[in-house]
Amino acid sequence: MAEQNLETAPGVARDFRTTHWSVVLAAGQASTEQSAAALEKLCRTYWFPLYAFVRRQGHAPPEAQDLTQEFFSRLLAKNPLGTLQPAKGRFRSYLIASMKHLLANEWDRAHRQKRGGRVVTFSLDEKDAEERYVVEPADELTPEKIFERRWAEALLEQVLARLRVEFRAAGQEDRYELLKPFLVGDDDPGPGEELAARLGLGVSGAKSAIRRLRQRYGELFREEIAQTVESEEEIDAEIRHLFAALSG
């Protein structure tokens, strides 16, 4: 099967600067269409860790759904970013601090809207949320630890989704499925002749394809993290933090 350069495949977006958290921060109190779109994109990608955080706090599913919906409705509608301190540059840090503030100070049970009566600014897949939450391990992780772990998992899922889109755009989605199991493993991947034949390559060509896949995965991983921090200097520290969250 002929190789196609994934980086030049049609439909593959190579510049993600317009979805960075830094774009949202730069807008400050003067929200722009670009910053609003960037914020909504980030929220849609990373909403589940907050839902899991609220559930682990002891809120029942309907209540947790209302709280999470209310949180994002406020965030997207009222643009409270002008009060954000520069030192709080990570998107996940901002989200968890803001949610804690909502839970502690701003959610008055007596004045909640009835379910179904609220104005929805940001629509969550509530059925999917609870289906995902019920498979959470029955451990003693704190709500904060659950949030961190689910955040890291959501980021990895986003990287895999982007990688699949690139292969699909290059007409190589079947190849992606064959190579995906080799994303993690030995430094010197050793696909057998059967896999190489299914790829339409020799064994050495299959090894090269695996190395390119891993390299591209690493690039997309850094890109995705870059979207959630304020500056490039924070990327490596965020990577260390997220791997610690996954292993903790």
Q: What domain count does the chain have?
A: 1
Nearest residue to 54 via CA among 94, 125, 104: 104
CA distance 154 to 32: 26
In a domain? residue 52: yes
Residue 59 has pLDDT above 80, yes or no: yes
In a domain? residue 6: no
In a domain? residue 5: no
Question: What share of the chain in percent tops pLDDT 90?
Answer: 26
Residue 137 lies in domain:
15-247
CA distance 113 to 73: 13
Residue 105 has pLDDT above 60, yes or no: yes
In a domain? residue 101: yes
Look at residue 189 in the predicted model and tell me its pLDDT: 56
In a domain? residue 10: no
In a domain? residue 7: no
Look at residue 195 in the predicted model and tell me its pLDDT: 83
CA 233 to chain centre: 20
pTM > 0.85? no
Report CA-CA distances (Å) from 166 to 177, 192, 217, 220: 12, 25, 11, 11
In a domain? residue 4: no
Name the maximum alpha-carbon separation found in the chain. Answer: 68
In a domain? residue 40: yes
